[in-house]
Structure 1
Amino acid sequence: MVISTLDWVIIAGFLILFAFIGIYVSKQAGKDSKAFFLSDRNMPWWLLGVSMVATTFAADTPNFVAGVIREDGVFGNWIWWSFLLTGMLTVFFYAKLWRKSGITTDLEFYELRYSGKSAAFLRGFRAIYLGVFFNIVIMANVCLAAIKIGHVMFGLSSWEVLLIASPIVVIYSAFGGLKGVLLTDFVQFIIAMVGSIWATVYILDMPEIGGLDKLLSTPSVAAKTAMLPDFSNPEVLIPLLIVPLAVQWWSVWYPGAEPGGGGYIAQRMLAAKDEKHATWATLFFNFAHYALRPWPWIIIGLASIVIYPNIESLQAAFPDLNPAFVKNDLSYPAMLTFLPAGLLGIVITSLIAAFMSTISTHLNWGSSYMVNDFYARFVRPNASDKEQVAIGRISTVAMMVLAALLSLVLEEARVGFDLLLSIGAGTGLLFILRWFWSRINPYSEIAAMVISFLIALFFFINNKMQEPIVEMKGYWQLVVGVVITTIGWIIVTLITKPSDENTLNSFNALIFGKESKFKGFGMKILGFFSGVVGVYCALFSIGNFIYGKTGLAIGLLVVTLLCGALIIKSFKQPK
């Protein structure tokens, strides 16, 4: 591919802008750890919401969606669309609770809710387990996508891509803190959406595609367009719809879709001006993430079936690429090679922006765990604010290096997705109930974490064996992991003592005040179901407009608007 001077100017201009933002806010961000990790808790809902969306628009996300479509069809996206239920649960039940807590990271919750040395151990261990292990696996998947894009579009080696892509994001993450991340996320989200929509329009106009109508009428494409699976085929229905909607959404911990909120979503809520801003930020995120953003990727994924009908055609198009990298998720960057000068520069910048927005958030979030929940809590409790910021910056660089190294041994985005799902299987219900069920204690969480990890490790090794010990499909492995882990942590909860009564009373007073924990549950449930139905109807309305089914699309749009009115009503419940 030939990159024109105009393309390079566009790319360089935005990279300079991102670096400038980080350096510009570095003085304010570096004054103390609160400013570095929470931007002084004065961020508006719209900036936080856009940042959440930008973060979940990683460089590997379009690749992942395109790969899912080529393998399973549009309805294959239910494996992540199902997490909307998790997101709406956070909006209506947990966003205000997180903001009320006043903590710096969601791991600080452990010593707010639980008591004793076990609570301290859990906080410190999770800081390493999530902030380092999980975080690096996620970032490695994002780096893998960047490697594939870099090779396909620039002919760069893996090392060259990583050495080019990493420094700028490390600069503004390490210097600008969360505020630098939020501001760059805002710019990056706009670029990413403009780039993906514009690229979609251009690709549809290619002679090989012949427009949207011709694309959708192509037999191989038409077979992939259904938004719901065939209900008469259990081999498709169970793994792609029933398991995600009946089991996965409430039982699995996954970054960005944690049951009860957590991770960088909790960080954004904790950085909000107040509880109202935390709630609206999370609501906007779920609407934009699930309803507005996927369709450009879906259309390009469908178009790739025409240009590259199988893996062999992808390999033939890129003969110099390591065959291990030639999977269905390569189809998205492969389609972008057809873009003209100017537009190519914008799209490349949008992919760089997508890479940076996700990596920067995970770097800041992971370093917040390392500083607040490990270093300042256990290593140097008397560390000054300046020292904490310095450690945060050092850990930012270190995690980027480790993620880059791990990315060199991964092969496909979906592999990482499935691995993370299996490791977190069965822990989700605990995170939902721990705010309300007083018997849950640190040993409950330790048991859930250990059991789910051991089961995931067993199946991971089992699946790599030439003669597996257990012959079981992936979705049943997930269900087994959920059942065993859930039963295990509930038993541990019932046979161990709850946390100290004074700790529980202090927690309840801070979070719920003098009111009942369950006050306003009816309106919250109304908001939850309205949010779920409204966003799914918006998603399908857009899809049906694209498919030319205008009547159905308008009907779904009306339902979306009615659901929006019910959501507003639910927010106006008596204080």
Structure 2
Amino acid sequence: MQLTPLDWSLIIGFFVISLGIGIFAAKQSGKSSENFFLSGRNMPWWLLGVSMVATTFAADTPGLVAGIVREDGVAGNWIWWSFLLTGMLTVFFYAKLWRKTNISTDLEFYELRYSGKSAAFLRGFRAIYLGVIFNIVIMATVCLAAIKIGHVIFGFTAAQSLLISCGVTLVYSTLGGLKGVLLTDFVQFIIAMAGSIWATIHIVNLPEINGIKNLIQHEVVQNKTSFFPDFSLPEVYIPLLVIPLAVQWWSVWYPGAEPGGGGYIVQRMLAAKDKNHATKATLFFTIVHYAIRPWPWIIMGLASLIVFPNLESLATVFPHLDPSFIKNDLSYAAMLKYLQPGLLGLVVTSLIAAFMSTISTHLNWGSSYVVNDFYVRFVSPKASPKKQVLIGRISTVLMMIAAAFLALKLEEAKKAFDLLLQIGAGTGLLFILRWFWHRINPFSEITAMLVSFVIAFLFFADDVYQWNLFDLLGYEKLILGVLITTVAWVGVSLITSPSSKEKRKEFDKKVFGEDSKFDGFGTKTLAFLAGVIGVYSILFSTGFFIYQKASLAILFVIVAVFCFLFIGFKWKVIVK
């Protein structure tokens, strides 16, 4: 693609702004680990909510969604739309609880909730397992998108793409801490959404597409537009709809959609001014993430079916790209070649922004585990605030380098998504119940983590090395993983001793106060259902407007309005 001086000025200008924010936030963020990782715990809900949305808009996300649409149609998105239930569960039951703990990371929860050396071991082990190993895998999938986009747009080699994109992100992440990340996220989100929406409008009006009406009615696209899979084909609707809604949302741990909350989502809750701001931020994120943001990517995926009907047509456009990278998730980047000067620069900037937002968050989140939950807890408890920040910055650099090298070994975003789902299979219910069921202990969590990982590794190795040990479909592997892992950790919970009564009382007093654990449970359950119905209604109404079915669109708008009016009336009970 040929970038004009206007395009380059937009890209370079964004880099300058990002670096400027990092420098601006550096002085305050460097004062202490709380400032570096939690921005002083005084952030407003709207900034935190936007940051959550920006973080989950990675450079690989448009390609992932477009690839899903090409393979399984719009209905294929239920594999991640189902996590809306997880998000709403976090909003109405857990967001305020996390903020009331007043801890520094979600891993600190372990020694707040559990007692003994096993709790300390679990905290330290998860710090390395999640904060370093698992985190590097996630960042590598995002770096894979940077490699593909860098080649398609700039003609860069994989090494050049990673050196430039990772280098700039590293600079402002290590300087500004979480405050720098939050402020940059706000700018990045505006650019990313403006770029994706404008690009979609331009693509739809190309002569090859000739408007949204022709796109929706095109013979190649018609059977891809339904919100739901074909219910006459069990082999289609079971893996695409039934399993995600019946099993996946509550049983699977996935970054950004952890049952009960976790990771960088909890990091932002803990940085909120209070429990009200934490809950509002999470609700805002859940609405925008599932109902508003995906449609430009979906439309782009549908349009790509007309321009690039198969992988062979994609390969002819990029003859110099490594054949292993020619997958359906490349279609989004391939469509960018049809953008005009100026718009191309904005969209490229939006993709760079999406990449930097996600990577910077994962770097800050991962280094917070390394510092708070490993280094200070086990290596140097008396480390000075400046030493803690220094360790955080060093770990940030090392994780970025490791993720970049791993990205060179990956091929497709969807495969990495499936692997992460399998690794988290069976652990979700534990994270939901551990706040309430006293039998759950560190051994329960260790069992769930190890069993799910071993099962995922066996399935993954069986596919990669073609051992043919497991003649199972993808969703069958997920169910088996959930079943075995759940039975394992529940069994361990029943045969091992729970934490001491004193520890449980101390935890309950801090988190639940004088109220019962189930205070307001009925209202929160109704709010949860209203939230789920309301967000899906926004999602469907947007789609029906795009499909030019105004009556259905208006009907779902009315449903959404009633759902959120109910939540508004019950808000004081929800955040009490």
Give the TM-score of the pair, scaled to structure 1: 0.99
Q: CA-to-partner distance for each residue in 1:496-532, whole Å, 9 max, x for gaps? A: 0000111111100000111110000011001100000
Alignment length (residue pairs):
575
Q: CA deviation at 1:116?
A: 0.4
Q: CA-to-partner distance for each residue in 1:242-283, whole Å, 9 max, x for gaps? A: 000000000000000000000000000000000000000000
1:496-575 alignment runs, 5 A limit = 496-573=496-573, 575=576
Residue matched to 1:320: 320
1:302-451 alignment runs, 5 A limit = 302-451=302-451
Which amino acid letter does the alignment assign opposite residue 533 of structure 2?
Answer: V
Q: CA-to-partner distance for each residue in 1:222-251, whole Å, 9 max, x for gaps? A: 111111111111011110000000000000
Using the alignment, how far apart are the partners of 2:52 and 2:174 within structure 1? 19
Which amino acid letter does the alignment assign opposite residue 459 of structure 2?
Answer: F
SS in 1 for 2:221: helix
Q: CA-to-partner distance for each residue in 1:332-358, whole Å, 9 max, x for gaps? A: 000011111111110000000000000
Q: CA deviation at 1:22?
A: 0.4
Give the TM-score of the pair, scaled to structure 2: 0.99
Which amino acid letter does the alignment assign opposite residue 156 of structure 1?
Answer: F
Q: CA deviation at 1:20?
A: 0.4
Using the alignment, how far apart are the partners of 1:383 and 1:523 within structure 2? 45
Using the alignment, how far apart are the partners of 1:94 and 1:324 within structure 2? 42
SS in 2 for 1:219: coil
Q: CA-to-partner distance for each residue in 1:416-466, whole Å, 9 max, x for gaps? A: 100110001000000000000111100000010011011111111222343
Task: Report the CA distance shift for 1:126/1:467 in structure 2 as closer, same or farther (over 3 A).
Answer: closer
Residue matched to 2:139: 139
Q: CA deviation at 1:405?
A: 0.3
Q: CA deviation at 1:573?
A: 2.2
SS in 1 for 2:289: helix
Indicate the larger mover: 339-348 or 463-472: 463-472
Asked if structure 2 preserves the Cα contact closer than 8 Å seen for 1:526 and 1:570, the reply is no
Q: CA deviation at 1:467?
A: 4.6
Residue matched to 1:174: 174
* Structure 1 runs of 4+ with >3 Å offset: none
1:153-302 alignment runs, 5 A limit = 153-302=153-302
Asked if structure 2 preserves the Cα contact closer than 8 Å seen for 1:177 and 1:364, the reply is yes
Using the alignment, how far apart are the partners of 2:328 and 2:499 within structure 1? 49
Which amino acid letter does the alignment assign opposite residue 569 of structure 1?
Answer: F
Asked if structure 2 preserves the Cα contact closer than 8 Å seen for 1:76 and 1:240, the reply is yes
Correspondence 1:106 to 2:106: yes
Q: CA deviation at 1:572?
A: 2.7
Residue matched to 1:37: 37
Correspondence 1:490 to 2:490: yes
Using the alignment, how far apart are the partners of 1:492 and 1:546 within structure 2? 50
Using the alignment, how far apart are the partners of 2:298 and 2:474 within structure 1? 24
Which amino acid letter does the alignment assign opposite residue 165 of structure 2?
Answer: A
SS in 1 for 2:573: coil
Residue matched to 1:118: 118
Q: CA deviation at 1:300?
A: 0.6
Which amino acid letter does the alignment assign opposite residue 99 of structure 1?
Answer: R
Q: CA-to-partner distance for each residue in 1:536-559, whole Å, 9 max, x for gaps? A: 010000000000110000000000
SS in 1 for 2:115: coil
Correspondence 1:471 to 2:471: yes
Q: CA deviation at 1:567?
A: 1.0
Using the alignment, how far apart are the partners of 1:211 and 1:115 within structure 2? 62
SS in 2 for 1:223: helix
Using the alignment, how far apart are the partners of 2:569 and 2:479 within structure 1? 37
Q: CA deviation at 1:121?
A: 0.2
Q: CA deviation at 1:38?
A: 0.3
Q: CA deviation at 1:570?
A: 2.5
Which amino acid letter does the alignment assign opposite residue 396 of structure 2?
Answer: T
Using the alignment, how far apart are the partners of 1:162 and 1:176 within structure 2? 21
Q: CA RMSD in A?
A: 0.7
